[in-house]
Amino acid sequence: QEGSLCAQHCLNNLLQGEYFTPVELSAIAQQLDEEERMRMAEGGVSSEEYRTFLQQPSVNMDDSGFFSIQVISNALKVWGLELILFNSPEYQRLGIDPINEKSFICNYKEHWFTVRKLGKQWFNLNSLLMGPELISDTYLALFLAQLQQEGYSIFVVKGDLPDCEADQLLQMIRVQQMQRPKLIGEEAAQARDQRLPKSDVDQAIEVNHPFDGTGMLDEDEENFQRALALSRQEIDMEDEEADLRRAIQLSMQGSRRSDFLDSLPQNVPQSPHTSQTDSLSSEELQRQQQQPQQQDQTPNLYDKPSLSSSPLETDPGGDMSEEDMLQAAMNMSLESVRNHLNTEGDK
């Protein structure tokens, strides 16, 4: 496409030939302007509406190369072609099925493009693309519905289109499109981006998905890869710290488990045979607790006195129930854990 002459390219892509020039379309637009002026003059050349009309710019063309739907419709009348608005009452009355038609003209704001059937296949002939884009029969209705949802005006072209070489050729063969055409200027923009220094995230994306010429990543995939690269950077920065935390946690768990197992022979009797009952007196528990302390006469310089008290100290006499004995064993194991943690803290 050259400039903003999308209407000219839309018509020529539809007819598959250089049938219209900007000068010819401008002549049609000027003729429409003159007809509208004459209709306004019927109400009086001195009326306020007529003077306002003369001061307003043309609605059929502008300096950028835009042409209105009236210009396109009048241009197609020369070829005996008619435009019907998609999903209009007339469209519904005629019972039009898009798959059985030959071509459509689409417009959004000031851009026109053609969708046409050549041979037995549909093509998007948007002049902003580097080439025609193949549209499957099953995707055609969805494609048109998507355009309409995005705000496009769609017109069905009714009538016999002139013969063209592309239509004759594609009646005999079918096209297989391996890569979708790019937008005009997209390659230049990519080349410009390649000359710019790339960030670490962009380099990580290229490592994961090197460009092999088969196609470009869509926007969702590209955003996903960028987020993935960022998360990997954060994980690499935190790996060393996380490993250290896990090692400390595992070592503390191992120490606690060892201390708890070591405390069990001191607090829980190993033999099921007792002289009286299943419960032990507080004096016997104290003797079992003091026995390993007497074996090791070397004091630990790093040990600190415990501030917690146990049921053994509050109840020096009498028998203990099984629940009291279990509570005493748990308190004693907790004391050994506290002593170990205090020792590790001093170290």
Which regions of the chain does DSSP assign to beta strands (E)?
A: 82-85, 103-108, 111-118, 121-125, 133-135, 153-158
Among 281, 291, 336, 335, CA closest to 312: 281
Q: Is residue 63 part of a domain?
A: yes
pLDDT at residue 64 in the model: 73
**From 12, 124, 126, 267, active-site residue:** 126
- Both structure tokens of 340: 């170990």
Average pLDDT, the chain: 74
For the ranges 226-235, 247-256, 313-322, 326-335, the maximum mean pLDDT occurs at: 326-335
pLDDT at residue 271 in the model: 43
Q: Is residue 88 part of a domain?
A: yes
d(CA 338, CA 191): 66
Q: Is 278 helix (H, G, I), strand (E, B) or coil?
A: coil
Q: Give the 3-state secondary structure percentages of the chain, helix then strand then coil, rounded to 5.
A: 55, 10, 35
pLDDT at residue 80 in the model: 95
Whether the predicted pLDDT of 113 surpasses 90: yes
pLDDT > 70 in the chain, percent = 60
Q: Is 108 helix (H, G, I), strand (E, B) or coil?
A: strand
Residue whose pair of structure tokens reads 């501030």 in the numeric block: 307
pLDDT at residue 316 in the model: 44
pLDDT at residue 125 in the model: 94
Any catalytic annotation for residue 10?
no
Sequence-ordered alpha helix ranges (H) in 42-177: 48-55, 69-77, 89-94, 137-149, 165-170
d(CA 101, CA 104): 8
- Confirm if 260 and 337 have CB atoms less than 8 A apart: yes
- The residue type found at 154 is I
pLDDT at residue 171 in the model: 92
Domain tally, the chain:
1
Whether the predicted pLDDT of 215 surpasses 50: no
**From 6, 10, 124, 267, active-site residue:** 6
pLDDT at residue 306 in the model: 42
Q: Is residue 19 part of a domain?
A: yes
74-88, 244-258, 273-287: which has the minimum mean pLDDT?
A: 273-287
- Over residues 295-310, mean pLDDT: 43
- Confirm if 60 and 71 have CB atoms less than 8 A apart: yes
**Is the sign of the CA dihedral 26, 27, 28, 33 positive or negative?**
positive
**From 74, 87, 111, 339, active-site residue:** 111
Q: Is 333 helix (H, G, I), strand (E, B) or coil?
A: helix
d(CA 159, CA 169): 21
Q: Which residue range forms the structural domain that includes residue 117?
A: 6-186
pLDDT at residue 244 in the model: 57
- Confirm if 133 and 126 have CB atoms less than 8 A apart: yes
HEC profile of 206-233: HHHCCCCCCCCCCHHHHHHHHHHHHHHH
- Over residues 252-278, mean pLDDT: 49
CATH label of the domain that carries residue 179: 3.90.70.40
d(CA 347, CA 341): 10
Side-chain-facing half-sphere of 293: CA atoms under 13 Å: 9
Q: Is residue 243 part of a domain?
A: no
Side-chain-facing half-sphere of 10: CA atoms under 13 Å: 30
pLDDT at residue 220 in the model: 57
List pLDDT tens digits, range 49-86: 888 888 888 888 887 778 899 999 999 999 999 999 99
- Confirm if 242 and 222 have CB atoms less than 8 A apart: no
Q: Is residue 261 part of a domain?
A: no
Whether the predicted pLDDT of 279 surpasses 70: no
Whether the predicted pLDDT of 107 surpasses 60: yes
Whether the predicted pLDDT of 160 surpasses 70: yes
| pTM confidence score | 0.53
Residues 6 or more apart whose Cβ sits within 8 Å of residue 230: 201
Q: Is residue 30 part of a domain?
A: yes
In what helix (H) or strand (E) does residue 294 lie, and over which residues does it extend?
A: helix 282-295
- Over residues 80-98, mean pLDDT: 91
pLDDT at residue 48 in the model: 82
Whether the predicted pLDDT of 135 surpasses 50: yes
